C-alpha cells in the first residue's frame, strides 16, 4: 500500500501548462529518494481550475498545490514527501482574501459547487476502469439490465432530467418517443460536438470520466431497444478521443460492452466518429448527416425528428455528453436523490465554463436555480479590482448578454430564455466595463456567420448583413436607423432559418440592443465607444504637460509611431499608430501622460463618417 498518492491534473489545460513534465520530474525525484514504491502518481482528468494548472494534490492530507512546474519537484519531494512540511509558496493564494489555502475543499472556487456530473473529473484516473467501478461505476447499468424499458424511461421522466446540450428538452420524453417507434434497428448518439468558443464542459467529461458517458449510452440503448451507439466527437479533442477509445476497449475487455453484457442477453456496441469541427454539426440532423459520411448540413424542412428517422433513417436517440453522463447516477441512486437538487422545473445541476473577467475561472457545476450573481461572485470571486461588472454572456454564440440588474436571476433553462439569453451548453463569459457591448455582439455574430452552412438564405445572408451593419457601427459609419434594421433582420433570421444555429444567431445582437441600447446609440450618434475598445473610434494621445519625456513609450512602441527626444515631450504620429495600447500600458503611473480619447467631439476626423459599406 502507498504512503501517499499524488493526483496531477492531466486535462488538456494542465497538460498544456506542463503536467506531463511535472509527472516525469516527480518520478525522477521519487526514485532519487527511494520513494517510487511508496508514492503513487495518478494522472486525473480536469479539476476545473485550469487557470491555476498544473494542479497537484497530495493525499491523504489533501494539500492542494497549484501552478507547479518540473523545477519545483526537487523541493516538493524533499520538503513534503521526505520532511513532511507543506511548501507554502506553492499553495493556492486566493486573489480576493489573499490567504493561502491548503485543502482544495476550502478554496472558494470549489467550496460553492455541487459536483454531480463532474463528480469523477479530477478524482479518478480516467484510463483506469477499476477506479470508475470503485466509485459506483456500472452499477447503474447493472440495475438497468434488470429493468424493463418502460421502467427505465419512467425513471428518467420522473427525474425531470432535461437535455443539457442547451435545448433543455425533457430527456425522458425524448427517450419515450424513440422507444415507441417500431423499427428493426435503432441508434443512440452522443453529441460531443462542443463548438462554443471558450466552452470545454463536454471535452472535460470525456477526458476525465469517459466511462460515465459509455454507461449512459448503454442504459439509453437498453431503454429504447437499441444495440448500437455513436459518439460524435470533435477531432480537435485528441485527448478526449484517445481516452474515450481506451475506455471502450477496457469496457469491452471487461464484458461491459459487447454481446450478452453481464449475462443479460443485452448486446451493445459503441463507435466513435470524429467530426471535423463544424459548429453546425452540433445540430441534430447535420450531425446525423456527418456520421453518415455526408456533408454536415441540417436537413431541409419539413423533416422528421431524429427520434423517428435519424441515422440511416432509423430512430435515433441523440443526447449530449452531460445528459448521458448523469443517467447512470439517476438509475443507481434513484429519482428522489436527483430531484432533491435543482428547481421545480429544472432538476439536477448545470455545468458552466466560467471565463472572462473574474478573479477565479474554470469549469464549474452548480445546482439548477443558483443565482447568476452567486456564480460570478462566490465561485468566480467577482470582477478583479479596479474594474466594474458590466454583463455576463451565457449560452455561447446562440446566447445573449445580461446586465447587472439580472444577476439575481436563477440559472435554469426557462429563466435565462425569458431574460433574452439562454443556458446553452454552458458557456459563461463575464464582461467588465472595458468591454464594448456592440463589439461583443459583433464577435459572436462573426462566429455564427462564419459557421453558417449557407444552406438557407435568412441565415447565410441575414447574418452577413447584420455583421456588415455592426462593422459599420463599430467603425464610425453607423446610421440612425441601423438599430431598427438590426432588430428587423434579427426577427427575419429567427423566423426564417431552418435550424437552431440560424434561429439563435441574432441573440447576442438582440440582447445587447435590449440591455445596452445606449451604447449602440453613442456609437452611431457620437462616434463614441464608452469602453474605449473600438479601434476606429479612439485615438491615443500624449498630454504634453504631463509627459516627462522619459522615452519609455517611444522605446516600446512597435510601430515607431512616437516622436520625441530627451527633455522634449513626446507626440504620437497618428498615421503610424496601430492603437495597440502599448504606450498607454507603459507610461509610468506617476506621469499618466498617455490618454485614450473617443467621440467626434474629441476626434474631428470622425465627423461626417456615415453610410453602410
Partner 1 sequence: MERFIDHCCEKCEHTKDNPCAQFVECRLSGPLCHESQSCAEKRKAIIEKYSHSEGFQQH
Measure the CA–CA gap between 29 and 473, rounded to whole angstroms: 59
CA dihedral 175, 180, 183, 187 (to 10 degrees): 0
**Contact between 5 and partner 1 (CB under 8 A)?**
yes
Q: Give the cell for residue 568.
A: 522634449
Smallest separation (angstroms) from partner 1 to the CB of 130: 5
Piece of 121-129, 170-178, 293-301, 572-580 that binds partner 1 (CB under 8 A): 121-129
Smallest separation (angstroms) from partner 1 to the CB of 60: 7
Nearer to partner 1, 138 or 389 (CB): 138
Residue 448 CA to its chain's centroid (Å) = 16
Smallest separation (angstroms) from partner 1 to the CB of 262: 5
Smallest separation (angstroms) from partner 1 to the CB of 35: 16
- For partner 1, the binding residue among 130, 313, 344, 585 (CB under 8 A) is 130
Smallest separation (angstroms) from partner 1 to the CB of 409: 33
| Cβ atoms < 10 Å from Cβ of 569 | 15
Measure the CA–CA gap between 257 and 145, rounded to whole angstroms: 13
* Residues 136-175: x where in contact with partner 1 by CB under 8 A, - otherwise, as a string: xxxx-xx---------------------------------
Residue 36: name the closest of 44, 45, 24 by CA. Answer: 24
**Contact between 212 and partner 1 (CB under 8 A)?**
no
* Residues 55-94: x where in contact with partner 1 by CB under 8 A, - otherwise, as a string: ----xx-x--------------------------------
Smallest separation (angstroms) from partner 1 to the CB of 203: 24
**Contact between 7 and partner 1 (CB under 8 A)?**
yes
- What Å distances lie between residue 149 and 160, 172, 183, 219, CA to CA? 17, 11, 15, 9
Give the orientation angle of helix 210-224 with respect to helix 171-180, to 10 degrees. Answer: 50
* Residues 301-340: x where in contact with partner 1 by CB under 8 A, - otherwise, as a string: -------------------------------x--------
Piece of 1-9, 67-75, 171-179, 577-585 that binds partner 1 (CB under 8 A): 1-9
Smallest separation (angstroms) from partner 1 to the CB of 86: 17
Residue 376 CA to its chain's centroid (Å) = 15
Smallest separation (angstroms) from partner 1 to the CB of 136: 2
- For partner 1, the binding residue among 262, 341, 549, 580 (CB under 8 A) is 262
Burial of 36 (0-12, 13-18, 19+ CB in 10 A): middle
Smallest separation (angstroms) from partner 1 to the CB of 419: 37
Residue 234: name the closest of 186, 267, 278, 197 by CA. Answer: 278
Nearer to partner 1, 332 or 359 (CB): 332
CA dihedral 258, 264, 265, 268 (to 10 degrees): -30
Measure the CA–CA gap between 50 and 365, rounded to whole angstroms: 14
Contact of 370 with 380, CB cutoff 8 Å: no
**Contact between 494 and partner 1 (CB under 8 A)?**
no
Smallest separation (angstroms) from partner 1 to the CB of 46: 17
Contact of 207 with 240, CB cutoff 8 Å: yes
Residue 152: name the closest of 116, 130, 178, 129 by CA. Answer: 178
Q: Give the cell for residue 491.
A: 426577427
Residues in region 230-259 near partner 1 by CB under 8 A: 252-255, 258
Residue 490 CA to its chain's centroid (Å) = 25
Residue carrying C-alpha cell 441575414: 462
**Contact between 107 and partner 1 (CB under 8 A)?**
no
**Contact between 129 and partner 1 (CB under 8 A)?**
yes
Measure the CA–CA gap between 260 and 277, rounded to whole angstroms: 35
Residue 508: name the closest of 485, 534, 490 by CA. Answer: 490
Nearer to partner 1, 256 or 401 (CB): 256
Give the CA radius of gyration of the chain.
Answer: 27
- For partner 1, the binding residue among 87, 133, 167, 577 (CB under 8 A) is 133
- For partner 1, the binding residue among 106, 131, 374, 432 (CB under 8 A) is 131
Nearer to partner 1, 77 or 547 (CB): 77
Parallel/antiparallel/unpaired status of strands 56-59 and 4-9: antiparallel
Smallest separation (angstroms) from partner 1 to the CB of 99: 23
Q: Give the cell for residue 571.
A: 507626440
Piece of 126-134, 318-326, 507-515, 590-598 that binds partner 1 (CB under 8 A): 126-134
Binding site for partner 1 (CB under 8 A): 1-2, 5, 7, 40, 42, 59-60, 62, 123-125, 128-131, 133-139, 141-142, 252-255, 258, 260-264, 332
Amino acid at each position: 500500500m502507498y504512503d501517499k498518492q499524488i493526483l496531477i491534473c492531466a486535462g488538456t489545460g494542465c497538460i498544456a501548462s506542463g503536467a506531463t513534465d511535472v509527472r516525469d520530474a516527480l518520478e525522477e525525484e521519487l526514485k532519487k529518494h527511494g520513494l517510487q514504491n511508496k508514492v503513487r502518481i495518478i494522472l486525473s482528468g480536469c479539476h476545473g481550475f485550469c487557470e491555476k494548472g498544473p494542479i497537484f494534490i497530495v493525499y491523504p492530507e489533501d494539500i492542494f498545490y497549484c501552478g507547479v512546474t518540473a523545477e519545483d519537484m526537487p523541493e516538493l519531494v524533499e520538503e513534503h514527501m521526505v520532511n513532511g512540511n507543506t511548501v507554502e509558496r506553492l499553495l493556492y493564494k486566493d486573489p480576493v482574501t489573499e490567504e493561502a489555502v491548503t485543502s482544495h475543499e476550502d478554496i472558494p472556487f470549489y467550496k460553492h459547487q455541487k459536483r454531480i456530473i463532474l463528480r469523477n473529473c479530477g478524482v479518478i484516473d480516467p484510463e483506469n476502469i477499476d477506479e470508475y467501478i470503485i466509485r459506483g461505476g456500472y452499477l447503474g447499468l447493472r440495475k438497468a439490465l434488470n429493468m424493463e424499458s418502460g421502467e427505465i424511461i419512467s425513471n428518467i421522466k420522473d427525474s425531470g432530467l432535461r437535455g443539457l446540450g442547451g435545448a433543455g428538452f425533457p430527456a425522458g420524453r425524448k427517450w419515450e418517443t424513440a422507444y415507441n417507434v417500431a423499427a428493426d434497428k435503432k441508434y443512440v448518439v452522443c453529441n460531443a460536438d462542443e463548438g462554443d468558443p471558450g466552452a470545454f464542459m463536454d471535452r472535460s467529461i470525456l477526458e476525465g470520466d469517459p466511462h460515465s458517458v459509455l454507461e449512459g449510452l448503454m442504459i439509453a440503448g437498453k431503454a429504447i431497444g437499441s444495440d448500437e451507439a455513436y459518439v460524435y466527437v470533435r477531432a480537435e479533442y485528441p485527448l478526449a478521443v484517445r481516452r474515450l477509445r481506451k475506455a471502450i476497449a477496457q469496457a469491452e475487455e471487461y464484458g461491459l460492452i459487447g454481446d450478452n453484457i453481464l449475462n443479460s442477453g443485452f448486446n451493445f456496441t459503441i463507435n466513435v466518429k470524429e467530426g471535423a469541427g463544424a459548429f453546425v454539426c452540433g445540430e441534430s440532423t447535420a450531425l446525423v448527416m456527418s456520421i453518415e459520411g455526408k456533408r454536415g448540413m441540417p436537413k431541409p424542412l419539413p423533416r422528421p425528428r431524429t427520434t423517428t428517422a435519424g441515422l440511416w433513417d432509423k430512430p435515433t436517440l441523440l443526447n449530449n455528453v452531460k445528459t448521458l453522463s448523469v443517467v447512470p447516477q439517476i438509475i443507481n441512486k434513484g429519482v428522489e436523490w436527483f430531484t432533491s437538487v435543482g428547481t421545480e422545473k429544472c432538476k439536477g445541476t448545470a455545468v458552466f465554463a466560467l471565463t472572462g473577467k473574474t478573479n477565479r475561472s474554470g469549469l464549474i457545476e452548480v445546482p439548477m436555480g443558483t443565482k447568476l450573481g452567486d456564480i460570478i461572485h462566490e465561485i468566480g470571486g467577482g470582477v478583479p479590482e479596479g474594474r466594474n461588472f458590466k454583463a455576463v454572456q451565457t449560452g455561447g454564440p446562440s446566447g445573449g448578454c445580461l446586465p447587472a440588474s439580472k444577476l439575481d436571476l436563477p440559472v435554469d433553462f426557462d429563466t435565462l430564455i425569458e431574460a433574452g439569453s439562454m443556458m446553452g451548453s454552458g458557456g459563461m463569459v463575464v464582461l467588465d466595463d472595458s468591454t464594448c457591448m456592440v463589439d461583443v455582439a459583433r464577435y459572436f455574430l462573426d462566429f455564427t456567420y462564419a459557421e453558417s452552412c449557407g444552406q438557407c438564405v435568412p441565415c447565410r445572408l441575414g447574418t452577413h448583413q447584420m455583421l456588415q451593419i455592426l462593422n459599420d457601427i463599430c467603425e464610425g459609419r453607423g446610421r440612425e436607423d441601423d438599430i431598427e434594421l438590426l432588430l428587423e433582420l434579427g426577427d427575419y433570421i429567427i423566423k426564417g432559418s431552418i435550424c437552431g444555429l440560424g434561429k439563435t444567431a441574432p441573440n447576442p445582437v438582440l440582447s445587447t440592443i435590449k440591455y445596452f441600447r445606449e451604447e449602440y446609440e453613442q456609437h452611431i450618434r457620437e462616434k463614441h465607444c464608452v469602453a474605449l475598445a473600438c479601434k476606429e473610434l479612439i485615438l491615443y494621445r500624449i498630454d504634453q504637460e504631463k509627459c516627462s519625456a522619459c522615452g519609455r513609450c517611444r522605446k516600446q512602441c512597435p510601430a515607431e509611431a512616437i516622436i520625441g527626444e530627451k527633455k522634449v515631450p513626446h507626440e504620437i504620429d497618428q498615421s503610424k499608430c496601430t492603437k495597440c495600447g502599448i504606450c498607454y500600458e507603459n507610461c509610468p503611473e506617476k506621469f499618466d501622460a498617455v490618454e485614450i480619447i473617443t467621440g467626434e467631439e474629441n476626434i474631428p476626423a470622425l465627423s461626417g463618417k456615415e453610410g453602410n459599406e
